[in-house]
Amino acid sequence: MMKLATSRNDREPPFYERWGEFLGTELAPFPGRAHFMVRMLVANSLVILIAMTLQVPMTALAVVSVISTIQSNVVLTRLTGILTLIALVLAIGTTLLLVKFTFDYPMLRIAFAALIYFGCMYLMRAMKLGIIFSGVGLVVIYAQSMVDSMPYPEIVTRYILWAMMATVLGTVTALFVNSFVLQRSPGEQMAEEAHARLVALGGGLAVPDAPVSVRAMRLGMDKLQKLFQFACMSAPKDETLKLYRQSWIGIVSRVRYGVNALSAADARAVPASALLELATQLETLDAAIAGNAPYRFALEPAHRAALEGNANTVAVLHALDAFADFNAGDAAIASPQRAAAKEPMWQPDARTNPVYVQFSLKALIASLIGYLVFVSTQWEGIHTIMISVSLLLFPTLGMSLQRMPLRLIGVMLGSLVAIALTVFVMPHLDSIVGLLLMLAPVFLIGGWIAGGPERTAYIGVQIIGTGCLPLLEDFGPSYDLTEVRDRAIGIVLGIVVSAVVFSCLWPESERGALRQKLAALLRQIAALVRAEQQRRSASERQQALVGAWSTLNECEAMYGRTVNEADFRAGSQVTRAGRARALLDQARRILLAQDDVHSALAAAPDASEASRDAGSAIRQVLDQTGDALYRYADAIAQSEDPQRVRPQLPIAVLDAVHGGTELPARLRRLLDEVAGLPDNEHASHVPLQRIEGPAS
């Protein structure tokens, strides 16, 4: 079990250690990754076998369809496959009509293709299912490179229809393999992920390990949050199961935080028998999650007393108590089914937001530049420049710049693989079996990387695409190294064109959206801090808490994209970036602190008159703190300088009534963390510790 690093002042590890930790995190096994790799191997091998046996042209395109359709779970793969087939029908129909009426008029054909592409890019941004039209635009604009190289419309028509057949073959095969080979529903993957985490946590109760990075701790919880969204899609009407899963995600996160904060000295201070019983309770929690069953939490009084004496183990106790209360309360009763309101197909600002038109123009300009380079050089091998430009069309500059290095790394690695296979392996092949055996390691390695964390998954896709496609152009051995070279050059040129156009023309930043998202996060935290949380049910409190951690994760992802923007790393923007980073870290601390306060408040005695007076004072302080956070959030949203007054803590009343409990100290910590928000006049100048929290 690994423990979290908590200090910003720790010695910066050497470069090779940081890279070793990075690669270890990105390539580490986790539930579902091996299954994804096997499905990638089986689907691609099956497609190649069918295409080579039946001599279906464009086998490489069928492989592209497979690697773009297969996703990490059944629901997402099915959705991707259906959208691909819909986009294919629209794209082929549009392209055939365009060729039929404009084949003999090149200027008119290019003009109409540009208009169609512009419209598709606009619909991509303005509609909820706009991803369909991005595929249509890609096919229409890429088809122009084929039309220019073929003298007769009949040949073009056949080429387009065979391309449709190859795409359908790859998509249908991917759907078939995903349905029958090692399929895993999102709910099953959630339970497997929770099992892996809880088993590791059970071991960590006995032997705390070395610290790990915050990002490494956050990966597993991010995955659980995404799987939860897909699980809701697979069972949209089961509100009870949705609440149950949402609850245990938060509980597993809180347990993970408590165990990872447990030091070796803490473990020695707590009786081994108490830690053993707590580990047994984690096994019981694991079994309950696996069976979607109620959880019952019971400890020996002596063991509970021993565990409550440690700040970290008591956090685990409070989390398990909360889940047991959640199961015993209103969440265990099936909630009435309510028809979900249908979401509109169009974005609310589809007709008024000029950003959508600007994005469409940028995409069109980049694609036409790529087409101009392709035609003017008469270099047929760099046709991938058209595809590369279209595949890097993301709504914001940060997202595009985040993907470009991944695509470049994947292309370089894939090209080296293709050259090595062509030179050293291809001359020794004489059958399709040898071809499949040669490509199997590429599918396995690329599938393993593609099935990993989102930051590097795109590299795996590029390795498979660039490493295999040049070897599948013909129905026999291919020894043409210029094909590999030309494809790589085309992709690199596409990356350069996209980077220049999207950086120079109306660069679309997420800074404004990040500011509004941070304000929304602070408002959620403010609602959690307020005293009225004590009057809410267990399920309502848990939903609100999980929602806040989900928003924090979204802010982290948005911040990670925003820092890729060049102007966010220069001038005054550096200070703003530092403030955003500090605000995220401090928001994590406030979430942890408010949870501790409410847990201690729920356990505090309230029978006496003095305790009621103290409780009234505490509620007043919590409400004042919540109001301060609301005002701080409003200032962030309006780009103002947030200066907030720290609420006063009634120390005398608290110490007189709750002096023997942890409540006064926890309330002080909450107010300290609120006062430590950036730009607060009471902000501490002491270097802050970076703490990993639940569901983060």
Q: Are residues 494 and 523 in the same domain?
A: no
Q: Give bridge partners of residue 7 from the DSSP assignment.
A: none
Q: Which of 269, 303, 332 is the last residue of a domain?
A: 332
Q: Are residues 652 and 534 in the same domain?
A: yes
CB 190 within 8 A of CB 227: yes
CB 146 within 8 A of CB 159: yes
SS3 state at 384: helix
Token output for 461: 């896709």
For residue 314, the model assigns a pLDDT of: 73
**Three-state secondary structure string covering 22-71:** HHHHHHCCCCCHHHHHHHHHHHHHHHHHHHHHHCCCCHHHHHHHHHHHCC
Q: Give bridge partners of residue 212 from the DSSP assignment.
A: 4
Token output for 36: 């994804």
3 domain-assigned: no
- Residue 649 is classified by DSSP as P
546 domain-assigned: yes
Q: Are residues 83 and 107 in the same domain?
A: yes
For residue 371, the model assigns a pLDDT of: 92
Token output for 622: 């919590």
587 domain-assigned: yes
The Cα 3–Cα 491 span in angstroms is 42
The Cα 366–Cα 369 span in angstroms is 5
Residues in CB range of 419: below 8 A, 6 or more apart: 481, 484
For residue 341, the model assigns a pLDDT of: 55
Q: Are residues 560 and 669 in the same domain?
A: yes
Q: Are residues 526 and 658 in the same domain?
A: yes
The number of CA neighbours under 13 Å toward the Cβ of 608 is: 8
Q: Are residues 177 and 213 in the same domain?
A: no
315 domain-assigned: yes
Q: Are residues 522 and 652 in the same domain?
A: yes
Residue 662's nearest CA partner among 278, 310, 138, 207 is: 310
695 domain-assigned: no
Token output for 686: 């002491």
Residues in CB range of 148: below 8 A, 6 or more apart: 106, 375
For residue 336, the model assigns a pLDDT of: 41
Q: Are residues 299 and 444 in the same domain?
A: no
Phi-psi region of 619 (alpha: psi -120 to 50; beta: other; left: phi over 0): alpha
Residue 565's nearest CA partner among 602, 511, 506 is: 511
The Cα 50–Cα 546 span in angstroms is 47
The Cα 443–Cα 450 span in angstroms is 10
Question: To which H or E segment does residue 596 belong?
Answer: helix 572-603
For residue 228, the model assigns a pLDDT of: 78
19 domain-assigned: no
Q: Are residues 456 and 410 in the same domain?
A: yes
Q: Are residues 383 and 316 in the same domain?
A: no
- Residue 473 is classified by DSSP as S
Q: Which domain holds residue 577?
A: 511-675
The Cα 151–Cα 587 span in angstroms is 63
State the distance between the two ends of the chain, measured CA to CA, in whole angstroms.
18
Q: Which of 482, 504, 526 is the last residue of a domain?
A: 504
Q: Are residues 532 and 430 in the same domain?
A: no
Q: Which stretches within 149-238 are classed as H helix?
A: 153-180, 186-204, 214-234
Domain count, the chain: 3
256, exposed or middle or buried, with CB in 10 Å at 0-12, 13-18, 19+? buried
The Cα 569–Cα 512 span in angstroms is 16
Q: Which of 456, 482, 504 is the last residue of a domain?
A: 504
For residue 449, the model assigns a pLDDT of: 92
For residue 638, the model assigns a pLDDT of: 83
- Residue 346 is classified by DSSP as B
5 domain-assigned: no
Q: Are residues 464 and 529 in the same domain?
A: no
- Residue 424 is classified by DSSP as I
Mean pLDDT, 10 residues at a time, the chain of 696 residues: 39 67 78 86 94 89 90 82 91 93 91 94 88 89 85 88 92 90 78 80 65 52 73 72 78 74 67 82 85 82 77 74 69 45 77 91 94 90 87 83 88 93 90 92 93 84 88 82 90 92 87 88 91 73 79 84 72 71 86 78 55 70 85 82 53 47 72 77 40 41
For residue 573, the model assigns a pLDDT of: 63
- Residue 568 is classified by DSSP as G
CA distances in angstroms from 640 to 250, 331, 632, listed in the order given: 33, 41, 9
193 domain-assigned: no
